[in-house]
Chains A and B, each alone.
Chain A
Amino acid sequence: MKNINELKSLLQKAQGGDKASYREFFNALYPYIETKVKHRIFNPSDISDVVQEVLISIHQSLNTYDPKYALSPWVNTICQRRIIDYIRKISRLEDSAQSEEFDVTNTIGAANINSKEEAYEVLNLISPNYREVIILTKIIGHSTAEAAKILGIKENALRTRVSRGFKELEAALKKEL
C-alpha cells in the first residue's frame, strides 16, 4: 500500500488526465476500499458491487478534490455515502418484500398448494441459498434472529435473502402457472 502523500500526488496527476497515475491510484486504493466495505456489508455477493459504486463515485467526483486538503476524509466520505445508499436500498427492498409476501401468497394460492410437502416442492424452483432461508423463516417459523444464527449469517443478510428469495419464487411460480 502506498502512503497517503503518494496517493495524493497520483490523484493530482490523474486530475490532469494522466491515465497511468490514475491506474496506479485505483490499484493502490482498491484493497483499502474493499476492506472498508467488507467491514460494513455482510452479504459477500454485494461487496464487489458496492466497491464498484464507490470507485464510480470517486471517478465522477474527481473535480471536487482539492489537493490542499487531506485525501482520507474525501475518500472515506464517498465510501461512507455509498455504503449508506446500499443500506437504504436494502431496507427498501425488505419493506417491499413484506408487501410482496402477500402477492406471493396469492400466487402460491393460485398454484394450489395445500400442504407443506407441496410447498417444499415449489421451493425447489428457487436457488438453495434462498430456499433454506424461506423454509427456516416461513415454513418452520423461526424468527429472523434464530434463522440467522442457524445459518451463521447476519440478520440483515438473511432479510435480504428472504426478500430476493420471494422475488425469485414469484417469478418462478408465474412461469410455472
Chain B
Amino acid sequence: MDDKAKFLDGLIDDLTPVKPLPKIWKRVMLFVSAQILFMIVAFYFYSDVHYQVGLLKSSGLYALQLLLFFGFVITMSTLTLLRSIPGRIKDRVLWSGGVIFILLLGSLMLGSWMNFVSMKRAHCDVEIVIFSIPALFTMLYMVKKGFFIRDFITYFTIALSSTAIPSFIMHFVCNPSAEHSLIFHILPAVATSFVFSFLVKKFSTPL
C-alpha cells in the first residue's frame, strides 16, 4: 500500500458523523445578545447606571448613532464568523465593516455641533477593555469551531467585534458627546484590538 492510500485510509477511519455549524445569523444573535446581557447584569451588580433614554427619545441623531453602532457590532460579528467558513466571503468584503464605521464616525462628527451634556462614567475606557474580555474568548471559541485562519485579519476582526459591544453599550450609558465617545469609547476599542491582534500574531505558535 502506498503512502497516499495509507494517508487516505487514516482520514477515512477517523470519520465520524459531523454536526453542521448553526446558521450564521443564529450564532451572531447568540453572541451579541449574550454579551449585552452579560454587561447589563454586570452593571446591575457593579455600579449605578444612567441609561440615556431621555436623549434617545429627544434626539434623532443620537438614535441614528446608536443604530449605526449596533449595525457595526452586527456587521463585524457576522463578517468574523463568516470568515471562519471557507468560501463564504471574500476578504475584500471585510471593508463593509469599515464603511459602517466611517458612517458612525460621521454621525459622531455631526453630533459635535450639538450639545449632548451628560454625566460620564469614571473609568469608561477601562471598563470597555475589561468587559470585552469575555466576548473576546467567546468569539475566539466560536471562530475556532469553524475553519480558523491564523492571520492578523482574523485576530483583528475577533477583537474588534468583541470590543465593539462594550463600546456600543457605553454610548448608551456614558457621555455620548463626540469628543468623549471618540477618545474614551472608540479609541480604546480600536487600540485594544490592534494590540491584541499584534501580540497574538507575534507570540502564537508558528505554522
| A55, B7: Cβ atoms closer than 8 Å | yes
**Whole-angstrom distance between the alpha carbons of A88 and B55 in the complex?**
51
A59 touching B14, Cβ below 8 Å = yes
**Complex formed: what's the CA distance from A24 to B85 in Å?**
23
B1 at the interface (CB under 8 A from A): no
Number of chain B residues close to chain A: CB under 8 A: 27
Total chain A interface residues with beta-carbon distance under 8 A: 36
Say if the beta carbon of B122 comes within 8 Å of chain A: no
A63 & B7 in contact (Cβ 8 Å cutoff): no
Q: Which residues of chain B have C-beta atoms less than 8 A from A78's C-beta? A: 86, 147
Is the CB of A89 closer than 8 A to any CB of chain B? Answer: yes
CB of A98 within 8 A of chain B? no
For the complex, what is the distance from the CA of A153 to the CA of B3, rounded to whole Å? 26
Q: Report chain A residues within 8 Å CB of B19.
A: 63
* B84 located at the interface, meaning its Cβ lies under 8 Å from any Cβ of chain A in the complex: yes
Nearest-CB distance from B84 to chain A (Å)?
7
* Binding-face segment, A64-72, A115-123, A141-149: A64-72
Query: In the complex, A72→B88 CA distance in Å?
Result: 11
Say what secondary structure dominates the interface of chain B.
Answer: loop
Q: Min CB distance, A19 to chain B, in Å?
A: 5
With an 8 A cutoff between CB atoms, is B149 at the interface? yes
Q: Is A14 an interface residue (CB 8 A)?
A: yes
**Residues from chain B with Cβ under 8 Å of A56 in the complex:** 11
Chain A 82-118 interface mask (CB, 8 Å, partner B; 1/0) = 0001001100100000000000000000000000000
Which residue of the partner chain, among A15, A30, A89, contacts B20 with CB atoms under 8 Å? Answer: A15
Q: Which residues of A contact B21 (CB under 8 A)?
A: 63-64, 66
Residues of A within 8 A of B16 (CB): 17
Cβ A27 vs Cβ B8 within 8 A: yes
7 inter-chain pairs at a CB distance below 8 angstroms, sorted by A residue, are: A15-B18, A30-B4, A30-B8, A59-B15, A63-B19, A63-B20, A70-B87
